[in-house]
Structure 1
């Protein structure tokens, strides 16, 4: 059976937000902070102050099976502002996905340059401000150092071009997006795919 993700009221304004997302075989931690104070939660309610407050929400998920060699860790950080609402309201948090192209069935690049399609939007059911920008980076040493990817944008679709040298091995990806309201998301995927030989 495939992986299952537990879901609840994930990132909502109102009386509480249930922070969940446990995958079998994964270590998972969620941290929520009223900047600059921080408290870490595995799951549970997050109550918002009445006044408009800046938040930083961090999630980490890592696979620890020796046979699972790709996408071994995902680290995501959101920065946003929020205050209490009269009823549960979906927060307009940014969502970013990275989809490497030109890969074979084993997630190996079939050519030297790899296009990574970046899809950016806001959490379903929310009304978000216009997306203002996107950046992306790649790494061939599991995120110890990062190289800026060449960016292209056509009709609101962003593409990062990864130009990894031959034999670079596993390529990690990092992307950041922000909107006109000042919300921001940064996501890292460790060992996203294998570079072309």
Structure 2
């Protein structure tokens, strides 16, 4: 992705989303907020993305109803962007395609974070929303509708 920004410094918001006809990851949306200023040479934007590696799903990315899913989370940054420490990671889950959300506790573990998600007791889907902030004030809110199935 390439973006030419105006000269001077300022706060910017960049939104990217995609929808597809599929069973999982039917919509992915990221909203980045960041500061940028004039530089002598082009620089990568300070964009972040939350990445997940859910444990205990079957080969079709399904969890058992009523089970828990351990969810390791880590933050990736744009290649070549300035190294900035991640300040906070908040996570929410939805069992109704994002109509309602509830917070999920996240614990710092090594170079990432881990959450334990209580899956619905009935068949359906789990959507995930992460809010990540770094020490420079850059932010991303990333939503994956139907991240994995239950049932």
* TM-score over 0.5 for the pair: yes
The separation in 2 between residues aligned to 1:156 and 1:168, in whole angstroms, is: 33
User: Map of 1:41-120 to 2, 5 A cutoff?
Assistant: 46-64=3-21, 68-110=22-64, 112-120=67-75
Report SS of the residue matched to 1:89. Answer: coil
Deviation at 1:144, TM superposition (A): 0.6
Deviation at 1:164, TM superposition (A): 2.3
Report SS of the residue matched to 2:83. Answer: coil
1:125 paired residue among 63, 67, 80:
80
Counterpart in the other structure of 1:34: none
Structure 2 segments unaligned to the other structure (5+ residues): none
The separation in 1 between residues aligned to 2:137 and 2:26, in whole angstroms, is: 30
Deviation at 1:193, TM superposition (A): 0.8
The separation in 1 between residues aligned to 2:147 and 2:110, in whole angstroms, is: 26
Deviation at 1:99, TM superposition (A): 2.3
1:146 paired residue among 86, 90, 101:
101
Using CA pairs under 8 Å that are at least 6 residues apart, name the structure with larger relative contact order, 1 or 2.
2
Contact persistence 1:136–1:176 (CA under 8 A): yes
Counterpart in the other structure of 2:112: 157
| Count of aligned pairs between the two proteins | 150
Structure 1 segments unaligned to the other structure (5+ residues): 1-9, 11-16, 18-45
